[in-house]
Chains A and B, each alone.
Chain A
């Protein structure tokens, strides 16, 4: 027989469900349940109902979200990150995966594995951080990797919500999903449709306004379910094909050509390699996926091996073959003592920026016939806004097989360890930060090592041939 709960019991059990019970309220609930079997049954019924609601509603698809009142702030900005509901259905795939040890039960549903993204409060998410709820991508790219191994490249402006270990919701933006074997079944939903993957690489574009969403398959097969309440089996879509959601066809889908160039399928490296044969040929790199908008960009040349030094005379940024920005000055790139002026700054005005093919060109100096190689780092100039405090701490890097650690102490001194042993290299050196560049000055030689900070955890060497250092944990 079921009892009608009194006010107190109802409040206590609601508190359990909402996770708002205080310690003394827990004790009170225990008292009530100990004293009265009917109170315990009420608790059990409500707990059972909660989990079944999650099961039933989770298995169906979501209806459109209620529209925000336009006078209000964006509805997602008003609140903390949404709780995440893992789609916990017992499936054969899950069995196979768990058995092979491919997934970790206690690992987060997804992580930010590359690029730049913010949480709903507008805070920058650290690379590698666990993701819950919504992820906002402004301009640029973010790489999100689900627990299942499904890897997403999301191009901003975009908003993606993690809804499970192998599922998400794309509010708007462009997404390319690479689903490895074993992670089949990755599902992405948006306001009026969803795609279920059957082991593929595919793309979804959900425009921010009310335009129709598009789905294309690079390889493999997906099922596309159109409509706000997709219940059908879904229409299959195969390699090289694309569809646009359309209300005017009976299937809700219209076949369209798949414009693959519109989607970014690989996280572009910021480190462009160069190899100089000494013939004076310009270096050229396609940087379309690094020039995300108007602003200032830095190009830092780094020498890694070969002849003593490379000279560079001019660096240009071109859009569809037309020069948009130039920094013409002489620089020399070699080891510490022969590196000077190797940072180039390129401005792209708001009226000059648009989507297109962006090319970076660098013109080396004299044709001396010597072979040299190295990299050019392409960075957003906003990194010059970092302050001294941001650099403080211990940084780790590897060079020529040795493990290095360097520490920048608050008092301006620094320490270097090589393979765990303290070195006297920094004995008399002092560091300071000017204009976002850290200089370690060596009084005896009048030389300075220079660093930039790409993000909180990545320290770049400007004039040493070392790879980037990571902040030590």
Chain B
């Protein structure tokens, strides 16, 4: 992100104020936007791309943005339409998607929860630092490399179900840890 600001500095002065403003808004919004999209797309598949697309759309329309209006709600509206398009495609491919009423409820609730997104991300980082090395390796495998659990099971000589269970337990433990972190941080 710092990179982006540096680049900005090289640009001409025209419209630069807005550019810097929008770039910063986009940057700040990332954790919340990711959570929002992940909630509506049900998981990790396609989230990166959709967040990226939303960022790019916002960026390409940066001159349209009026300073002083609500950037977040503009961004969420963009993301919402992109999610709807992705959802239509999934439904067309015969994949299961949430009903219209459910997706609207989820969107509403996700929006309400948004202001804590940054705190949750920070808490998760702290919690990850506390994980045991073997758990850390499992998470790395799954989330950094996108490795298949079946592969990992074969590599460790364990049953795939055992790996699945470990991961499920780990997710729950992390959630618990995040919750505690947030609680202790709250006044």
Once A47-B38, A75-B155, A84-B146 are accepted as A-B contacts, the answer to whether A30 and B43 lie under 8 Å apart by CB is no
Q: Are B164 and A48 in contact (CB under 8 A)?
A: no
The docked-state distance in angstroms from the alpha carbon of A57 to that of B143 is 6
Once A67-B155, A86-B49 are accepted as A-B contacts, the answer to whether A57 and B144 lie under 8 Å apart by CB is yes
Q: Report the minimal beta-carbon distance from A43 to chain B, rounded to whole angstroms.
A: 8
In this complex, which of A23, A81, A94 has the most chain B Cβ atoms within 10 angstroms of its Cβ? A94
B18 at interface by CB-CB < 8 Å: no
B124 at interface by CB-CB < 8 Å: yes
Q: Report the minimal beta-carbon distance from B172 to chain A, rounded to whole angstroms.
A: 7
In this complex, which of A19, A78, A84, A92 has the most chain B Cβ atoms within 10 angstroms of its Cβ? A92
List chain A residues, Cβ under 8 A from B45: 19
* In the complex, chain A residues 81-97 whose Cβ is within 8 Å of any chain B Cβ: 81-88, 90-92, 94-95
Per-residue contact bits, chain A 36-55, to B (CB 8 Å; 1 contact, 0 not): 01001101111111111111
B152 at interface by CB-CB < 8 Å: yes
Q: Are A82 and B145 in contact (CB under 8 A)?
A: yes
Per-residue contact bits, chain B 87-130, to A (CB 8 Å; 1 contact, 0 not): 00000000010110010011001100100010011001100100
The docked-state distance in angstroms from the alpha carbon of A92 to that of B3 is 7
In this complex, which of B102, B142, B154 has the most chain A Cβ atoms within 10 angstroms of its Cβ? B154
Q: Are B137 and A66 in contact (CB under 8 A)?
A: yes
Once A63-B140, A80-B150, A90-B51 are accepted as A-B contacts, the answer to whether A10 and B42 lie under 8 Å apart by CB is no
Q: Are B120 and A48 in contact (CB under 8 A)?
A: yes
The docked-state distance in angstroms from the alpha carbon of A37 to that of B30 is 25
Say which size band chain B's interface belongs to: 35 or more
Q: Are A48 and B38 in contact (CB under 8 A)?
A: yes
The docked-state distance in angstroms from the alpha carbon of A47 to that of B145 is 19
Q: Are A105 and B49 in contact (CB under 8 A)?
A: yes
B77 at interface by CB-CB < 8 Å: no
The docked-state distance in angstroms from the alpha carbon of A212 to that of B93 is 47
The docked-state distance in angstroms from the alpha carbon of A133 to that of B168 is 24
Per-residue contact bits, chain B 1-37, to A (CB 8 Å; 1 contact, 0 not): 1011001000000000000000000110011001101
Once A30-B99, A60-B144, A99-B60 are accepted as A-B contacts, the answer to whether A40 and B155 lie under 8 Å apart by CB is no
B159 at interface by CB-CB < 8 Å: no
Q: Are B49 and A88 in contact (CB under 8 A)?
A: yes
Residues of chain B whose beta carbon lies under 8 Å from any beta carbon of chain A:
1, 3-4, 7, 26-27, 30-31, 34-35, 37-39, 42-45, 47-49, 51-53, 55-56, 59-60, 96, 98-99, 102, 105-106, 109-110, 113, 117, 120-121, 124-125, 128, 136-137, 139-148, 150-152, 154-157, 164, 168, 171-172, 174-176, 178-179
